Amino acid sequence: MSKFSLKAAIIKSLDDLFGDSYRACKSYIDWFFGPIFAILRRVKSAISFFFWKIFPSRSSELERERYKKFIESLGGWKNVTAFTCRAKSWHLKITHEFLIDWDTLKTFNVKIIYWGWPYLDLSLGSYSRWMYKRLKRFSDKPIGRAIPKCSLKKN
């Protein structure tokens, strides 16, 4: 049930219940239900990415296939150990880089804005700094030392 049909159903039931007195206090009812529907819209937009996995009936077949191909290009859910979804960026912690299909990932129009090297966090002191400098100089990945291990930004 969409927000419009839910709101219409609430208004119709209140109109049937209160009749003419409802029309007199319509602005007060809008004042009360307005923030509730605003919160529901924000929650829906925050979790809409997960609808294809949690509620398959709420997403189109095309959306489900696209997201499945995206996860497969990352090496599947077994390769993604942590995942947070924001409005304009997705933050993923990926176990193995060699499982990622880079050619397929490019077709999704995403940009890697940060890449972490988890094994370098185990090295100590100046040796670690030297390794980071070498990797920044000789690799094409944007390297950093904080979590998340991989962040993708939608263009």
CA-to-CA dists, residue 113 to 39, 65, 110, 117, 148, angstroms: 30, 25, 9, 14, 11
Return the CATH number at 137.
Answer: 3.30.1360
**Residue range 1-23: mean pLDDT, rounded:** 68
Residue 19 belongs to a domain: yes
List the single range of 93-97, 103-107, 148-152 with lowest mean pLDDT.
Answer: 148-152
- Phi/psi at 151 (5° precision): -120, 130
**Residue range 7-25: mean pLDDT, rounded:** 71
User: Do 20 and 73 have their domain in common?
Assistant: no
Residue 104 tokens read as 């397929």
User: Do 29 and 74 have their domain in common?
Assistant: no
Q: Tokens 């944007």 correspond to what residue?
A: 142
83 Cβ contact list (under 8 Å, min separation 6): 90, 91, 92, 93
User: Do 111 and 143 have their domain in common?
Assistant: yes
- Domain enclosing residue 44, as ranges: 3-48
User: Do 41 and 65 have their domain in common?
Assistant: no
Whether a cis peptide bond, with omega within 30° of 0, leads into 148 is yes
CA distance 27 to 125: 65
pTM for the predicted model, two decimal places: 0.44
**Residue range 48-62: mean pLDDT, rounded:** 66
pLDDT at 147: 38
Residue 9 belongs to a domain: yes
- Phi/psi at 37 (5° precision): -70, -30
Q: What is the pLDDT of residues 17-42, one digit of tens each?
A: 776 666 666 677 777 888 888 888 88
